[in-house]
Structure 1
Amino acid sequence: MIEKREFYIDGRWVDPSVPDACDVINPATEQPVAVISLGSAADVDKAVTAARRAFKTFGETPVDERAALLERIIKIYQGRTSEMDEAIRLEMGAPRRFAREQQTPAAIGHLTATLDALKAHVWERPSPRGGSLLRHEPVGVCGLVTPWNWPINQIAAKVAPALAAGCTMILKPSEIAPLSALLFAEILDEAGCPPGVFNLVNGDGPGVGAAMSAHPGIDMMSFTGSTRAGTSVTRNAAPTVKRVALELGGKSPNILFADADLETAVRFSVESCFSNSGQSCDAPTRLLVEHSIYDKAVALAGRAADETLVDTPEKDGDHIGPVVSQLQYDRIQTHIEKGIAEGARLAAGGLGRPNGLETGFYVRPTVFADVTNQMHVAREEIFGPVLAVIPFGSEDDAIRIANDTPYGLAAYIQTGSPERAKRVARKLRAGSVYINGASPDWDVPFGGYKQSGNGREYGEFGLEDFLELKAITG
């Protein structure tokens, strides 16, 4: 059992104001692997005090000094990647290979892209017509709230640009998956991050998260999580009129046209939906298929789902692991039940656990066919390995269905026509559009339209989220 009850505040590991033990559960065994303590408003106050004091000097540090800090963090992180692999495996059930090849390296991607953006950024420039100086300055003290599904990815996507901008911060990682965050705090400490610049307080949303959102000493909230929770952050932040950046839920469409390489496109579609056990906010969970290839695509999707391996995270291989918690498992089962009740046809999977995996929060890879876009499984973010297949007629029909969602985080297009791909991509209301299996670089902006949030992360766009713009005239 790992004991991690302390918080990192003002450059030291300190005890919580009021101990409140919380078990960290291994999703594969359903047993505790660590104990942390949940914080309170009093702990947030301590962290904010430290961050405000540190901002007076850190906000004025030269760019070279902040770049050197990021370089030290990168070097130390690279030496501790095996520890990060293990932390992510234990806290959220990522299989060893997936943790090693996808989850852990994400932090390096964000740190290096932010470092490049910092070195290239123009901090002062004349106004377009002259007579004024336009100057970028750090926002100030930032509250960072991160989720459990890509834990170190989202931590690095916020901490790196906040440091680069000259901000100070308080991080509240998910209480479900806090081990990677605690390890990252050790790395920042080893890298010589000045006291008070980075602070970590564990806790839940109603306790620590709400206290951060409402705190008058915090100038900005950057939140990644559900749309429901993002709404709460915004509401709590409103009285202090602080900046709020949100990266929220998604129900991303994946449009498959008849001129695509069908087998390759369907295989990509299923694998992308089920990756990370379906626990990605930008997963292509609605597969829209042109009528003429619909039956064949459904058969191929069902076969791909049946061939998707589900196994324990301890094993090294190309399989998916459990979902993160009993609560999440139960929610997914409820979604599957609703899909069946509404008349969607099961092409693969269904209720219950895969054969041979009776312990652990494992979900059967599931494909629903004959889905209409008004069904529950087409409207709600399920956050599990569940794919909804929807037929469409014309190109305009596909675009209409794709955009008929409260979300707008990502969209996907599979077609053999570059002209069609560009034409359709321009009409999709989503922050990111991926064509024929393409994936972005770390400096490509990430964020959503509509109820998928506001603001953009990654590279120079993430850096700008943490900057104010000042005009000096005269």
Structure 2
Amino acid sequence: MTELTVISAAAATPGDAPYHARHLIGGTLRDSAGGARFERRSPAHGTVASTAARGGPAEVDAAVAAARAAFDAGDWSRRDGKSRAALLLKVADLIERDIERIARIETLESGKPISQARDEIAGAADLWRYAAALARTMHGESHNTLGPDMLGVVLKEPIGVVSVITPWNFPFLIVSQKLPFALAAGCTAVVKPSELTPSSTVMLGELLLEAGLPDGVVNIVLGYGDPVGAAMTTDPRVDMVTFTGSTAVGKAITAAASGTLKKVSLELGGKNPQVIFPDADLDAAADAIAFGVYFNAGECCNSSSRVIVHEDVAEALIGKVVALSRAVPFGDPLDPVTKVGAIISPEHQGKIDAHVQAAVAGGAELRLGGAALQVAGLEGQFYQPTVLSGVRPEMPIAREEVFGPVLSVLRFSEFDEAVRLANDASYGLSAGVWSESVHTCLDFARRARAGTVWTNTWMDGFPEMPFGGMKESGQGRELGRYGLEEFLEAKTVTMRIGRASRAPWVETPGRS
């Protein structure tokens, strides 16, 4: 552990009074009818970060009813794009005003570094602004080639009431990848954040009220997947479910939603490869690998937890990655210097370690880490930066999502082998390729079965660029114009114009 960079606690406890998160239903913040609550302890500090109202079927019923009534009334769903955009822009301004408040509660509830949380909240504000632009520029189609007396129009209309279910790893950022796009389209929503990180979503709800969003357009129900998420998925008054989380839960949501044939959009897991060719800039690749695997403690669907490196440069690359891994600051997430904070829960830390120990038992070589990390002054759970080499394609560590700061290194000798290894997983969220040859990069990008392919970089993202996965990494897209289209229905309007008429289908006596 002395070989690692560890940031000790700056103070014994953060000293914050716990935030109390309440449901937002029909424009009112409220506790559960029976007064049920749950608490969230900081995974880094062990102190109570928040308490939250614990919802159930009654709260879901009220929230869905409010969203349905608001959509059908049309105050938002039929509002013009200009006024929708104006409200979304106001929300973006309010988010930026409250960055420090939102970022701090995210750090306390999730364990992510405060500097990272600030960047994510700022990025979320940009998403609200981009969605505002889409609200003013979305359009349908016209078809003027159907004949002299015919005109075809394709309208784009909001799909209706949307259930938005978000995870614990990026609570504010991911709700902002979904909700503003749904609102730009004219939908209404019921939102359920993870029970591990409920508070920043409720803070967003407070900002929506302050911005003047009509009552019932956005509702928030706090609680557990069963019963809250389950009810939001099966309610026949809900027209669509958008979910980010594990592949297993995504499959369960798809099955549950099939009873009402509602639309489902899913952003799920990943086992994302970075493929390193021998002509790559190894220093740049090593830095991107360290970023990709340790960002958010590896608790990221886009984590580059799999490196597939050419055998000629494998040892050189591993050496660079291990050296960088030792220098990455792990520790107190409230210290701005820290780049990697706490693991979300003791149970998840146990799963991470079980993956690592099974890999070592199966013949993988532990180059660094492989155990819990002790941070002076903190009671929470942390895991060492971990690098495993000698990983074989059939090993679980090479195929399953670890969701922790654990890197698996595989080797290849030929281009086709690299493509085969990259695609040899049930997931298809993202992939990366490193080479000085544009031909190598483009050939790999076209053959990789992944929704996003980065070339000579990793995890650069922009609101304009769609995001989503292939295979078991999900269905549908977020961000970009595609992210808006997810929340729209196409309606065909076919019009006969003028007095010209086709020949009658039925001839009647005396008709001239």
TM over 0.5: yes
Sort the Cα spacing of 1:295 and 1:241 in 2 relative to 1 into closer, same or farther, 3 A.
Answer: same
- Give 1:380's aligned amino acid: E
Identity within the alignment, %: 35
Q: What does the per-residue CA deviation read over 1:209-245, in whole Å, with 9 as the maximum and x for residues that have no partner?
A: 0011011110000000000111111111110000000
2:493 aligned with 1:469, yes or no? no
Note the residue ranges of structure 2 that are not aligned, 5 or more in a row: 1-16, 496-512
Task: Say if 2:21 and 2:202, in contact at 8 Å, map to a contact too.
Answer: no
Deviation of 1:164 (Å)? 0.4
Within the candidate set 263, 268, 271, 1:248 is matched to 268
TM-score computed with the length of structure 1 as normaliser: 0.97
Task: Say if 1:110 and 1:459, in contact at 8 Å, map to a contact too.
Answer: no
CA distance in 1, matches of 2:227, 2:176: 23
2:127 aligned with 1:107, yes or no? no
- Give 2:70's aligned amino acid: A
Task: Say if 1:127 and 1:134, in contact at 8 Å, map to a contact too.
Answer: no
Deviation of 1:127 (Å)? 7.0
1:374 paired residue number: 394
CA distance in 1, matches of 2:156, 2:257: 23
3-state DSSP of counterpart to 2:179: helix
Deviation of 1:3 (Å)? 4.7
2:12 paired residue number: none
Sort the Cα spacing of 1:357 and 1:232 in 2 relative to 1 into closer, same or farther, 3 A.
Answer: farther
Deviation of 1:318 (Å)? 4.5
CA distance in 1, matches of 2:49, 2:296: 21
2:250 aligned with 1:230, yes or no? yes
1:414 paired residue number: 434
3-state DSSP of counterpart to 1:239: coil
1:119 paired residue number: 136
3-state DSSP of counterpart to 2:24: strand
2:108 aligned with 1:87, yes or no? no
3-state DSSP of counterpart to 2:312: helix
CA distance in 1, matches of 2:328, 2:387: 12
Aligned ranges 1:9-158 → 2 under 5 Å: 9-56=25-72, 57=74, 58-101=76-119, 103-126=120-143, 129=146, 131-158=151-178
CA distance in 1, matches of 2:18, 2:372: 31
CA distance in 2, matches of 1:7, 1:215: 18
Task: Say if 2:175 and 2:201, in contact at 8 Å, map to a contact too.
Answer: yes
Task: Say if 1:309 and 1:319, in contact at 8 Å, map to a contact too.
Answer: yes
Task: Say if 2:131 and 2:180, in contact at 8 Å, map to a contact too.
Answer: yes
Task: Say if 2:464 and 2:481, in contact at 8 Å, map to a contact too.
Answer: yes
3-state DSSP of counterpart to 2:483: helix
Task: Say if 2:281 and 2:436, in contact at 8 Å, map to a contact too.
Answer: yes
2:9 paired residue number: none
Task: Say if 1:306 and 1:349, in contact at 8 Å, map to a contact too.
Answer: no
Worse-matched range after superposition: 33-42 or 166-175: 33-42
3-state DSSP of counterpart to 2:404: coil
CA distance in 2, matches of 1:359, 1:373: 37
Within the candidate set 276, 282, 288, 1:268 is matched to 288
Aligned ranges 1:58-457 → 2 under 5 Å: 58-101=76-119, 103-126=120-143, 129=146, 131-354=151-374, 356=376, 359-437=379-457, 439-457=460-478
Task: Say if 2:92 and 2:126, in contact at 8 Å, map to a contact too.
Answer: no
CA distance in 2, matches of 1:354, 1:296: 30
CA distance in 1, matches of 2:177, 2:71: 20
TM-score computed with the length of structure 2 as normaliser: 0.90
Deviation of 1:67 (Å)? 0.8
Task: Say if 1:53 and 1:196, in contact at 8 Å, map to a contact too.
Answer: yes
CA distance in 1, matches of 2:413, 2:145: 49
CA distance in 1, matches of 2:392, 2:340: 28
Deviation of 1:297 (Å)? 1.4
Task: Say if 2:19 and 2:199, in contact at 8 Å, map to a contact too.
Answer: no
Of Structure 1 and Structure 2, which has the larger fraction of its residues in helix? 1
CA distance in 2, matches of 1:20, 1:426: 52
- Give 1:246's aligned amino acid: L
- Give 2:68's aligned amino acid: R
3-state DSSP of counterpart to 2:331: coil
Deviation of 1:68 (Å)? 1.1
3-state DSSP of counterpart to 1:396: helix
3-state DSSP of counterpart to 2:431: strand
Q: What does the per-residue CA deviation read over 1:142-168, in whole Å, with 9 as the maximum and x for residues that have no partner?
A: 000001111111111111011100000
CA distance in 1, matches of 2:338, 2:442: 33
Task: Say if 1:246 and 1:453, in contact at 8 Å, map to a contact too.
Answer: yes
3-state DSSP of counterpart to 1:430: coil
CA distance in 2, matches of 1:449, 1:371: 24
Sort the Cα spacing of 1:221 and 1:127 in 2 relative to 1 into closer, same or farther, 3 A.
Answer: farther
Greater C-alpha Rg: 2
Q: What does the per-residue CA deviation read over 1:395-448, in whole Å, with 9 as the maximum and x for residues that have no partner?
A: 100000000000000001111111110111000000000111152311100000
- Give 1:87's aligned amino acid: I
Deviation of 1:373 (Å)? 1.4
Deviation of 1:31 (Å)? 2.6
2:504 paired residue number: none
CA distance in 1, matches of 2:391, 2:145: 52
CA distance in 1, matches of 2:160, 2:41: 35
Task: Say if 2:369 and 2:386, in contact at 8 Å, map to a contact too.
Answer: yes
Worse-matched range after superposition: 173-182 or 21-30: 21-30
Q: What does the per-residue CA deviation read over 1:337-391, in whole Å, with 9 as the maximum and x for residues that have no partner?
A: 1111111101111122246476211000000001011111111111110000000
RMSD: 1.5
CA distance in 1, matches of 2:199, 2:475: 28
